[in-house]
């Protein structure tokens, strides 16, 4: 099991050299253009079959590693649900896990967050995802994952990373709380409410915009330098315990991973994010457009 204080990331050349000693989980999710211009999401099994790292197992972050009974996609699973999903993938307590995705890393980061919410640290994320693997010369295979024997990995605690709307509403009721900023991982245009006529577009009041995609370099990799620069631009130090949100808890997970890279590990994620916040008409929103 990796050291909990080690980097949450591995690089593609490391994974090529150590592929045989780790369990690789593909966290692919299908992005489906909706009729209203908004993006819908679906399980990524077909994307996995079209191409994945050889020997990878498909980790369905949308269904198996989410609470199927919840109102919104990607909600943290129950403890029993997590155990079932992990064991179905053949994972054990001594499994050294590397997760990746094909869409910039936030879905792999989401799985990383779910593991850590349940007290498990035996997981890291491939920096740059499948694209980085291929750029480093890694082979890709197609087809379904090979069957594996059931594993025994089990959660060690109840989830302690995710918070609800009441928690966030109490935060904003106190104004800007020193040391506990509310950070939004949406792209700047979404944060500002551009390109939409929805009266509840925009962001949660008092929150600062730290777009997860802006933390990726031109190759789709996270670097400490970019994270440090983004924090500095917002006037934030390392001595913070932020609450993170986005549209549906995915880019917020990417932020959690990025902040961990520079030593900020005391974070919370508002799991329903703007999906839930917008739906509750009693909760305030702000936007920067007329």
The domain spans of the chain are 9-135, 162-279
pTM, 2 dp: 0.94
| Beta partners for residue 25, in sequence order | 57, 99
pLDDT tens-digit readout, 209-252: 999 999 999 999 999 999 999 999 999 999 999 999 999 999 99
Q: Which fold has domain 9-135?
A: Oxidized Rhodanese; domain 1 (3.40.250)
Low-confidence ranges of the chain (pLDDT < 70): 1-5, 34-39, 290
Instruction: Tell me the angle at which helices 224-233 and 251-261 cross, rounded to the nearest 10 degrees.
Output: 100
* Residue 97, strand partner residues: 23, 123
What is the per-residue pLDDT for 251?
97
Q: Is 230 left (phi over 0), alpha (psi -120 to 50) or beta?
A: alpha
* pLDDT score at 4: 40
Residue 37: predicted pLDDT: 58
Task: Give pLDDT, residue 179.
Answer: 87
- Alpha-carbon span 58 to 257, nearest angstrom: 21
Tell me how far apart the alpha carbons of residues 59 and 45 are, in angstroms, rounded to a whole number: 9
Indicate if 162-279 has the same CATH topology as 9-135: yes
Q: 162-279, which class in CATH?
A: alpha beta
């Amino acid at each position: 099991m990796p050291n909990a204080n080690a980097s949450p990331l591995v690089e593609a050349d490391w994974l090529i050299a150590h592929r045989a000693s780790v369990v690789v989980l593909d966290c692919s999710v299908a992005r489906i253009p909706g009729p209203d211009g908004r993006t819908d999401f679906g399980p990524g099994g077909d994307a996995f079959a079209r191409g994945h790292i050889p020997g990878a197992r498909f980790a369905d972050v949308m269904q198996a590693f989410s609470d199927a009974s919840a109102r919104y996609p990607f909600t943290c699973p129950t403890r029993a649900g997590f155990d079932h999903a992990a064991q179905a993938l053949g994972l054990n307590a001594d499994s050294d896990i590397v997760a990746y995705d094909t869409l910039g890393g936030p879905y792999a980061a989401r799985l990383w967050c779910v593991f850590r919410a349940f007290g498990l640290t035996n997981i890291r994320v491939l920096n740059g995802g499948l694209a980085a693997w291929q750029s480093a010369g890694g082979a890709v295979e197609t087809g379904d994952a090979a069957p594996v024997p059931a594993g025994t990995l089990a959660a060690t605690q109840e989830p302690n990373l995710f918070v609800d709307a009441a928690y966030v509403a109490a935060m904003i009721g106190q104004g800007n709380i020193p040391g506990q900023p509310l950070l939004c991982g949406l792209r700047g245009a979404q944060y500002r409410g551009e390109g939409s006529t929805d009266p509840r577009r925009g962001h949660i009041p008092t929150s600062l915009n730290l777009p997860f995609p802006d933390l990726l370099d031109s190759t789709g990799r996270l670097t400490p330098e970019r994270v440090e620069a983004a924090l500095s631009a917002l006037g934030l130090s390392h001595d913070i315990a932020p609450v993170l949100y986005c549209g549906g808890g995915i880019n917020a997970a990417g932020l959690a991973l990025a902040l961990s890279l520079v030593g900020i590990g005391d974070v919370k994620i508002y799991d329903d994010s703007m999906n839930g916040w917008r739906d509750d008409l009693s909760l305030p929103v702000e936007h920067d457009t007329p």
